[in-house]
Amino acid sequence: MNMQEYIQEGESALLHTYNRYQVVLDRGEGVYLYDTDGIKYLDFASGIGVFALGYNNKAYNDALKGQIDKLLHTSNYYYNVPAIRAAKKLTAASGMDRVFFTNSGAEAIEGALKAARKYAFQKDGAADHEIIAMNHSFHGRTFGALSVTGTPKYREAFEPMIGNIRFADLNDIESVKRQLTDKTCAVLLEPVQGEGGIIPATEAFLKEVKALCEERDILLILDEIQCGMGRTGYLFAWQRYGVKPDILTTAKALGCGVPVGAFLMTEKVAANSLTAGDHGSTYGGNPFVCTAVEKVLALFEENHIIEHVREVAPYLESSLDRLKEKYDCILERRGQGLMQGLVFNCPVKDVIGRALEEGLILINAGENIIRFLPPLIVSKANIDEMIDILESCMEPREA
């Protein structure tokens, strides 16, 4: 079949929940993807921040192949070696004490919310605790995760959400204080908002929220599903500021292509929240996905991924800054590390569409923002190539 025929087949059977670009992706190599017609694309989206190590990484593939032949799955009524190893590695790397593996980001959020409510319930036996989340946040599509997602358009048709969620503004500590009550059990935020438009939390804000939480024994939940796993130049974004969460969520690049997420917590939360029978998942943390997690963390170290991000990210920043200077339609560049956004004064859909035709994969974050989430192995030459293609898709500067 050619690509158009595949697309027609797909449209006849897949639920139409995405306006997909008219491309069928077939295979990948490094930072490049190829469609079923053999056309090559430079990928600056990495499957929405998933493919940190790039495509077709041999060491990663071999680890997974080895585990396929050994044991793909076992239930959580038993231990398995990859889960034990992945748990040890991930807790050590994240600074947290205990981990629960999930199948997605949204499920990691669900678990984090349950842990926070249980922690508060243990203290006073009440069942009316509140959680403060941020406007413009994104935490996933399941009901719990949707309930804390601060973008009404995602929630509207699916009301009622879970109750007792209040929204504050990122980087506005007064707005957080206004939502604070005796019932508040947790504050949830992304250290760098992703879908909401690549908006970093300020260090001052994070520190103020942390102080507020400590003062009142409220749990700080950081959602690092998009900004974690090296993307900002730190394995987890909180490490930049030393603002350690009580509960941390991760997913996306955690498995670099296999569906796995996790919520992690400190010993204090673990000892006073979820216990046997409180939470579970059939697939969660099975040997296959945990082999991926363990290998990903090992390869991050062996290949000095964090150091590489710190080296190339300033180059991406300055390259994007130059574009901003050159084109009036670009209002701002913002982000951290290899998580960058260019804010336009108009919708970016057309530029992204043209870029795709020219062999460059980009994604948006909101209508007016192009989001750059390249594989973390991206080189300066790849960045130059991306800028060249992007420029060829832009209107020349108005006189």
Ligand X SMILES: *Cc1c(COP(=O)(O)O)cnc(C)c1O
Q: Which residues bind ligand X (CB under 6 A)?
A: 104-106, 109, 138-140, 190, 194-195, 223, 225-226, 251-252
Question: Which lies closer to ligand X via its Cβ, residue 262 or residue 320?
Answer: 262
In angstroms and rounded to an integer, the radius of gyration of the C-alpha atoms of the chain is 21
Question: Which lies closer to ligand X via its Cβ, residue 96 or residue 106?
Answer: 106
| Length, in residues, of the chain | 399
Q: Least distance (Å) from ligand X to the CB of residue 49?
A: 7
Q: Least distance (Å) from ligand X to the CB of residue 140?
A: 4
- Give strand pairing partners of 43: 361
Phi-psi region of 99 (alpha: psi -120 to 50; beta: other; left: phi over 0): beta
Q: Least distance (Å) from ligand X to the CB of residue 102?
A: 9
Q: Least distance (Å) from ligand X to the CB of residue 139?
A: 5
Residue nearest to ligand X (CB): 105
Question: Which lies closer to ligand X via its Cβ, residue 30 or residue 197?
Answer: 197
Question: Which lies closer to ligand X via its Cβ, residue 213 or residue 221?
Answer: 221
Q: Least distance (Å) from ligand X to the CB of residue 249?
A: 7
Cβ-based burial of 354 (10 A; exposed 0-12, middle 13-18, buried ≥19): middle
Q: Determine the Cα–Cα distance for residues 33 and 47; give it in Å rounded to an integer.
A: 10
Candidates 305, 334, 131, 298; CA nearest to 228 is: 305
Question: Which lies closer to ligand X via its Cβ, residue 199 or residue 306?
Answer: 199
Q: Determine the Cα–Cα distance for residues 117 and 246; give it in Å rounded to an integer.
A: 13
Q: Which backbone phi and psi does 222 adopt, to 5 degrees? A: -105, 125
- Give strand pairing partners of 133: 167
Q: Least distance (Å) from ligand X to the CB of residue 159?
A: 20
Given strand 130-134, what is the order of strands in its sheet?
Answer: 98-102, 261-265, 247-250, 219-223, 184-189, 130-134, 165-168
Q: Would you say 135 and 150 are in contact if contact means Cβ atoms under 8 Å apart? A: yes
Q: Determine how many CB atoms are found less than 10 A away from the CB of residue 139.
A: 30
Q: Determine the Cα–Cα distance for residues 273 and 251; give it in Å rounded to an integer.
A: 22
Question: Which lies closer to ligand X via its Cβ, residue 89 or residue 139?
Answer: 139
Q: Least distance (Å) from ligand X to the CB of residue 251?
A: 5
Question: Which lies closer to ligand X via its Cβ, residue 252 or residue 333?
Answer: 252
Q: Least distance (Å) from ligand X to the CB of residue 226?
A: 3
Question: Which lies closer to ligand X via its Cβ, residue 67 or residue 249?
Answer: 249
